Amino acid sequence: MKKTTFTCFLALLCLLGSKVYGKELNKVAYTSARGDGGGAPVSLLDTLTIGDRLPEDKSFERAINHSGSSLAFGDFKGKYLVLSFWSTVCSASTHYLADLEKLQEDFGDKIQFLPVTMDDPDKVGAVLQAYPALKDVNLPMVVGERGLLRSFPHNTLPHFVILDPKRKVLAITGKEDLTENKLKALIRTGNPTFRLKSDKRIPFEHEERLISENAQIPDKNISFQSALTRYIPGVRGAQLDSDEKGGHIQLVNVPLYKLYRMAYSGKDLANYFGNNRIIAEGFGEEELFTDRTGIDYLEWMEAGGHVYGYELITPPGMDKYSLMKEDLKRYFPHIEAKVEKRPQTVWAIVKKEGAVFSASTADKVWYDVRPTGIRVDKSTLTGFIYYLNLYFMQNSSYPVMDLTGIDYPIDFEVKAALSNRESLKKGLNEIGLDLVKREEEIPVLVLKKIGNPKSHMP
């Protein structure tokens, strides 16, 4: 029986589930705005496509790493221009800035790579400082920019728009096609050979109920509902877990194992089953998960049988996670899921010898979480470690575990780049804690294939 342990899974793109970023994109008017003859300038308020041309004198009032505070397309006369859309909330697009810096060194006299983000300069600066790999990034960047984002709507990051020296749109593509060979071919022949990235977007607010709400009947007053969907083209992947008006769980266009993660993690912050705490047994290659990225990942989703949507609505007081587990048994009877204790390598947070932690003196629970550190009042380490596993160290081969024995609320602050293990260790050392690798028996989520999915899978 084949056994696969989920490790280091961080797809090098972001399916835009961020509420801030997603809502901004949903403001875009999804209409084509082609100029006369495919080459006339068009308003930046329009959605642009292949063949449209942007004005050469278009300027942007906020920029960094550029002479002066503003930047204009005209500053890069005679060069091809690659607009690289990114966001500080997407670590994949953030880390790709280092790759763009290398490409800029290789193509500096022919191509200008121009990162574009809607984030403000302070947020951009803080993120660049937080990651050692980005310390040498010196590309000029357009920051706090929404006009170009509206002109080129997209579902995934990083997202690239390639303009010729006269600012005509030649290609809209993904990371996989922004290769040295294809860029050299573009310079040599003037003809783009990039696969075109078509990000169809259907405006959809994830606070709404996926199945039970529509414009004609805003509230159908449903008190209980369970629904499963296959891949829905054009809708961004996201998840929601709410108890505001009874139980509401919603996952859209996510790999199947993430449904099991939601059901079996629930609200147990100490036992969040990240990829490094999920073990799959008996599944074929790419049957349950994939390490594809970008356009290839979108093709994997579209192939069917890989990603699903799920929605559960319950009255107040019901155990929605138990109901979700029962649904998964019904919907996918060929998969057996259970939590077992197994020996695993972990990153253990432990107390340093002689360290003493006083009980909290704060009036209330408080969390201030940033990429550059965390401040916590009146809480145990559980929430802090949950954030590490969920966000900052989600691509670690090993989960982070609390082995300090501190089972009472304390006040503490860790100043560190939370996604950098060495920086995190140093920050923990400064407050009397340490980060060490060790073997421990911990609960893991085991997914076991026990039948033929073709005869069962919905």
Residue 19 lies in a domain: no
151 pLDDT higher than 50 = yes
Is 354 inside a domain boundary? yes
Residues 37, 176 within the same domain: yes
370 or 221, which is more confident? 370
| One domain for residues 351 and 317 | no
Residue whose structure tokens are 């550059």: 372
Q: For the chain, first and last CA: distance in Å? A: 24
Same-domain check for residues 165 and 64 = yes
Chain-centroid distance, C-alpha 16: 7
Q: Is residue 60 part of a domain?
A: yes
In a domain, 98, yes or no: yes
Give the model confidence (pLDDT) of 63-87 as tens digits.
999 987 789 999 999 999 999 999 9
Whether residues 273 and 362 fall in one domain:
no
Task: State how beta strands 111-116 and 80-85 pair.
Answer: parallel
Both 36 and 123 in one domain: the answer is yes
The domain containing residue 411 runs over which residues? 343-444
**Taking residues 398-413, what's their average pLDDT?**
97
Q: pLDDT digit string (tens) for 278-303?
A: 999 999 999 998 989 889 988 999 99
Residue 82 sits in the same domain as residue 118: yes
Asked, for residue 406, whether it belongs to a domain, the answer is: yes
409 within a domain of the structure (yes/no):
yes
Task: Lowest mean pLDDT of 197-201, 271-275, 299-303, 335-339, name the range.
Answer: 197-201
The verdict on 263 and 320 lying in the same domain is: yes
25 or 147, greater pLDDT: 147
Q: Answer yes or no: are the C-beta atoms of 424 and 414 closer than 8 Å.
A: yes
Per-residue burial over 136-164, b if 16 or more Cβ lie within 10 Å, else e, is ebebbbbbbbeebbbbbbbbbbbbbbbbb
Q: What is the strand order of the sheet 111-116 is part of? A: 63-64, 141-142, 111-116, 80-85, 159-163, 169-173
Cα–Cα dist 11/18, whole Å: 16
- Regarding whether 281 and 353 lie in a shared domain, the answer is no
Verify that 383 and 286 share a domain, yes or no: no
Domain presence at residue 283: yes
Residue 312 scores a pLDDT above 80: yes
Domain assignment of residue 6, yes or no: no
CA distance 46 to 147: 9
For helices 320-331 and 256-265, give the axis angle rounded to 10 degrees. 150
Strand partners, 311: 227, 250
Would you say 63 and 70 are in contact if contact means Cβ atoms under 8 Å apart?
yes
pLDDT: which is higher, 443 or 235: 443
**Residue 334 carries which DSSP code?**
T
Q: CB neighbours of 105 closer than 8 A, spacing ≥ 6?
A: none
SS3 state at 323: helix
Pairing outcome for strands 247-255 and 238-242: antiparallel
Find, among 285, 332, 325, 286, the residue nearest to 308 by Cα.
332
Give residue 399's pLDDT band: very low, low, confident or very high (50, 70, 90): very high
Whether 272 and 419 share a structural domain? no
Number of structural domains (the chain) is 3
Domain end marker among 189, 216, 245: 189
Boundary of a domain, candidates 161, 189, 217: 189
CATH value at residue 179: 3.40.30.10
Task: Please check whether residue 48 is in contact with residue 328, taking contact to mean a CB–CB distance below 8 angstroms.
Answer: no
405 shares a domain with 323 = no
Which of 133, 20, 136, 27 minimizes the C-alpha distance to 87? 20
Residue 9 is predicted with a pLDDT of: 30
Please check whether residues 58 and 158 belong to one and the same domain.
Answer: yes
